[in-house]
Amino acid sequence: MHQRLTLLGATGSIGDSTLDLVARHPEDFSVFALTAHHNIDKLYRQCLAFQPAVAVVANADGASRLSARLKALGQHTEVLHGPQALMAVAAADECDTVVAAIVGGAGLASTLAAAQAGKRILLANKEALVMSGALFMASVAESKAQLLPVDSEHNAIFQCLSNHPEARPERLILTASGGPFLTRPLETLEDITPDQACAHPKWRMGRKISVDCATMMNKGREVIEAHWLFEMPPERIEVLIHPQSIVHSMVVYADQSVLAQLGNPDMRTPIAQALAYPRRMASGVEPLDLTGCEPLVFSKPDLRRFPCLRLALEVAHAGCELSVVLNAANEVAVAAFLAGALAFSDIARVVGQTLEQTAEVAIGSLEAIEDTDRRARARATQLSGLPPTRQ
């Protein structure tokens, strides 16, 4: 069936992969809306190529510049701006499927709007689950939205799950590449530059998630994400380092059958699986050469090397209540590191201290979550040594 897409975060890495797939299958997909934050040039090129009815950018100035350039070519894309417009295109009647690929907490409200509107949601924005798992899953259930995980590990698990409701898995195993600093001497971690942290050995991704992979905060957040998506207690979700990034995750059943999904590390595979679901479609990804690839190796993560993973696992095992604080503090600390204002090894310190120092965590409603998020960001900004206006 033909799907009309809203792509939230079109100019990012997930956005690029999604539009590559749309271009390969023009008969199956059309684009209703594309959104970007500040990259007007790239969104302009995407609008010319995919002819969306609506485009959304961060502010009025960007909107008028984009609108003028499109009108000059006679294109009728309506250009809107701001968070309300993101929510509107996520919930619009003219769209069937929402690809949620904005980075960070900024993507929460629009992803939630898609859930409340009962859309088919391809979920890349893991913050919707890390910040508001209970609320988000309740909205999905209430509106009968269809949730399809795009994060490669969760997509792998989704593919390995049995369709039969009585065949519940016993455990999940999330694989992690270990990032660029898996073997780097521990005493040199504080000298790491943003470009070194973003040079992931296997995946091409946006800078925020690349840093999260280097600290392994990403994997800790993925445990929380898997907990909500698959109703699995965090104690039964194991993390294994697998530097080859060929096995994308595994599901273990009571009879000790272990099912894994394999493929080259290219996000077009999980996105294509979710876009076409329940069918399959070509993705343009290189076929996996099992006899030519490196030997597949697995090991347990060293929590002294990856204190951010330890902090995230502690939050998960304590019931995920503090995960909104974990997310907020990490976003602030990673932004400070990327701006050259914080050492790599201080990211975990800022997150740990923010978790200790944020009182009164409320997560019952979107407003409560946003309030807790704001207070945690303010605390983390202070602990990063930044002036209050920076965030």
Closest to ligand NAD by CB, 4 vs 208, is: 208
Closest to ligand NAD by CB, 39 vs 353, is: 39
Under 8 Å between Cβ of 237 and 172: yes
Under 8 Å between Cβ of 195 and 211: no
Partner touching 122 among ligand NAD, Mg ion, none, CB below 5 to 8 Å by kind: none
Least distance to ligand NAD from the beta carbon of 267, Å?
A: 5
- Candidates 31, 36, 122, 380; binder of ligand NAD (CB under 6 A) is 36
Closest to ligand NAD by CB, 139 vs 151, is: 151
Closest to Mg ion by CB, 79 vs 226, is: 226
By CB under 6 A, is residue 7 in contact with ligand NAD? no
Residues numbered 145-204 forming contacts with Mg ion, rule: CB under 5 A? 151-153
Least distance to ligand NAD from the beta carbon of 204, Å?
A: 7
Least distance to ligand NAD from the beta carbon of 87, Å?
A: 11
Closest to Mg ion by CB, 152 vs 358, is: 152
By CB under 6 A, is residue 14 in contact with ligand NAD? yes
Residues numbered 337-366 forming contacts with ligand NAD, rule: CB under 6 A? none
Point out which span in 118-126, 245-253, 271-279, 311-319 binds ligand NAD (CB under 6 A): 118-126
Q: Please, what's the b/e burial string for 195-218 (b: 16 or more CB within 10 A of its CB; e: otherwise)?
A: eebbebebbebbbbbbbbbbbbbb
Closest of 93, 118, 89 to residue 102, by C-alpha: 89
Residue 277 has φ and ψ, to the nearest 5°, of -45, 135
Under 8 Å between Cβ of 179 and 211: no
Query: CB-based contacts of 365: which residues, under 8 Å, 6+ apart?
Result: 135
Closest to Mg ion by CB, 81 vs 221, is: 221
Spell out, one character per residue from 24 to 43, where the chain touches Mg ion: x when CB under 5 A holds, - when not: --------------------
Under 8 Å between Cβ of 87 and 58: no
By CB under 6 A, is residue 220 in contact with ligand NAD? no
The amino acid that residue 270 corresponds to is: P
Residue 4 has φ and ψ, to the nearest 5°, of -100, 125
CA distances, 367 to each of 16, 87, 129, 364, 385 (Å)? 32, 15, 16, 8, 27
Closest to Mg ion by CB, 154 vs 379, is: 154
What number of chain residues touch ligand NAD (CB under 6 A)?
25
What number of chain residues touch Mg ion (CB under 5 A)?
3
Name the closest residue to ligand NAD (Cβ). Answer: 12
Point out which span in 22-30, 46-54, 99-107, 185-193 binds ligand NAD (CB under 6 A): 99-107
Q: Which residue blocks in the chain are alpha helix, DSSP H?
A: 13-24, 40-50, 60-72, 83-91, 108-116, 127-143, 152-160, 194-198, 207-215, 217-230, 268-276, 307-317, 323-338, 346-357, 366-383
Calpha distance 335→322 (Å, rounded) = 20
Calpha distance 132→312 (Å, rounded) = 15
By CB under 6 A, is residue 151 in contact with ligand NAD? yes
By CB under 5 A, is residue 373 in contact with Mg ion? no
Calpha distance 286→269 (Å, rounded) = 10
Which residues contribute to the site for ligand NAD (CB under 6 A)? Answer: 9-15, 36-37, 39, 101-103, 106, 124-127, 151, 203, 205-206, 208-209, 267
Which residues contribute to the site for Mg ion (CB under 5 A)? Answer: 151-153
